[in-house]
């Protein structure tokens, strides 16, 4: 069942003024309930603009965006959307302003009307979902590590228990291990809570490791959308969009140019090992082959 339906969406910032900027051009895309979609594209391709239509922060200049059955152009419907669609902005920790991490996570659900034990329970659930240790809840948000602050910010959105979770560059500025941890937590939530997850990223390794489907933007246009395994292996298409293919895809390309053909293109390091290992073992067993 689709939870987001985008039809002929056009978005122009400041139309009719000298600052007029067409940001999205004729986008058609459907997001299915419960899926993990990666919205990818180079800087300025329109990813954040598109995502801001999902919770009604922006409305179409033309065309239609329906989210969870309602039209985002409808002002009354839009007022309910912030509870249903959680948008974690890029560098969300910059929006943390409470004295403790706990208060910060409680901000959203409190505005939704939760209080007392129900509120505490919700905050604890969200903190646990992002694997924040309990002592971090009592800390000053400015005193914890960058990775923890990012997870605290995600917890603040999760605490509203949105049906759709949109994360704008959730890995930006984090080191590799922390980035992986944040994304794993999100993937786990998508699995256990059956939440629809949309991540925005220009790092295709992240899309390859976690997303079912990929939508590729270039200069405000949807260049392609489809299964991660179909889109992310198209080196030329990705480069046309100004993106680096996942390194496993580049590696497979190099191998094929050296005469080593894998049965399919691997999307992750694990896939690469699985596809390559049997070949290496076989080659090493050849008489006269180097066993090392």
**Residue 58 Cβ, how far from ligand ADP at the closest point, in Å?**
9
- Which is closer to ligand ADP, CB of 220 or CB of 246? 220
Among ligand ADP, Mg ion, none, the one that 13 touches (CB under a kind-dependent 5 to 8 A) is ligand ADP
Return the closest-CA partner of residue 100 out of 128, 153, 133, 136. 136
Binding ligand ADP (rule: CB under 6 A), the pick from 3, 4, 9, 23 is 23
**Residue 63 Cβ, how far from Mg ion at the closest point, in Å?**
20
For residues 129 and 185, give the distance between their C-alpha atoms in angstroms, rounded to a whole number: 7
The stretch among 38-46, 103-111, 177-185, 275-283 that binds ligand ADP (CB under 6 A) is: 38-46
Q: What are the residues binding Mg ion (CB under 5 A)?
A: 48
For residues 152 and 177, give the distance between their C-alpha atoms in angstroms, rounded to a whole number: 17
**Residue 218 Cβ, how far from Mg ion at the closest point, in Å?**
14
Q: What are the Cα distances from residue 244, in Å, to 37, 145, 173, 203? A: 18, 29, 18, 8
Phi–psi pair at 198, nearest 5 degrees: -125, 120
Among Mg ion, ligand ADP, none, the one that 41 touches (CB under a kind-dependent 5 to 8 A) is ligand ADP
46 binds ligand ADP (CB under 6 A): yes
Binding ligand ADP (rule: CB under 6 A), the pick from 48, 102, 196, 203 is 48
**Residue 13 Cβ, how far from ligand ADP at the closest point, in Å?**
4
**Residue 50 Cβ, how far from Mg ion at the closest point, in Å?**
9
47 binds ligand ADP (CB under 6 A): yes
Among ligand ADP, Mg ion, none, the one that 21 touches (CB under a kind-dependent 5 to 8 A) is ligand ADP
45 binds ligand ADP (CB under 6 A): yes
Residues that bind ligand ADP (CB under 6 A): 13, 21, 23, 41, 43-49
């Amino acid at each position: 069942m689709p939870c987001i339906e985008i039809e002929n969406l056009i978005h122009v910032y400041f139309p009719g003024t000298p600052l007029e900027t067409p940001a999205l051009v004729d986008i058609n895309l459907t997001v299915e309930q419960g899926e993990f979609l990666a919205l990818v594209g180079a800087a300025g391709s329109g990813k954040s603009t598109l995502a801001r239509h999902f919770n009604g922060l922006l409305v179409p200049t033309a065309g239609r965006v329906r989210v969870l059955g309602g039209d985002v152009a409808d002002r009354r419907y839009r007022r309910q959307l912030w509870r249903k669609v959680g948008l974690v902005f890029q560098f969300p920790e910059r929006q943390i302003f409470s004295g403790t991490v706990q208060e910060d996570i409680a901000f959203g659900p409190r505005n939704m009307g939760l209080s007392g034990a129900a509120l505490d329970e919700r905050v604890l659930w969200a903190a646990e979902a992002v694997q924040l240790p309990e002592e971090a809840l009592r800390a000053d948000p400015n005193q914890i590590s960058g990775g923890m602050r990012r997870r605290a910010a995600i917890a603040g959105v999760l605490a509203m228990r949105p049906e759709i979770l949109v994360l704008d560059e959730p890995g930006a500025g984090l080191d590799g291990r922390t980035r992986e941890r944040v994304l794993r937590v999100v993937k786990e939530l998508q699995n256990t809570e059956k939440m629809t997850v949309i991540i925005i990223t220009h790092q295709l390794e992240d899309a390859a490791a976690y997303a079912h489907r990929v939508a590729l933007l270039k200069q405000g246009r949807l260049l392609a959308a489809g299964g991660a395994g179909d889109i992310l292996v198209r080196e030329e298409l990705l480069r046309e969009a100004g993106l680096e293919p996942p390194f496993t895809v580049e590696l497979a390309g190099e191998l094929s140019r050296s005469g080593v053909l894998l049965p399919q293109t691997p999307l992750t390091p694990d896939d690469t090992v699985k596809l390559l290992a049997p070949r290496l073992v076989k080659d090493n067993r050849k008489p006269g082959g180097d066993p090392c």
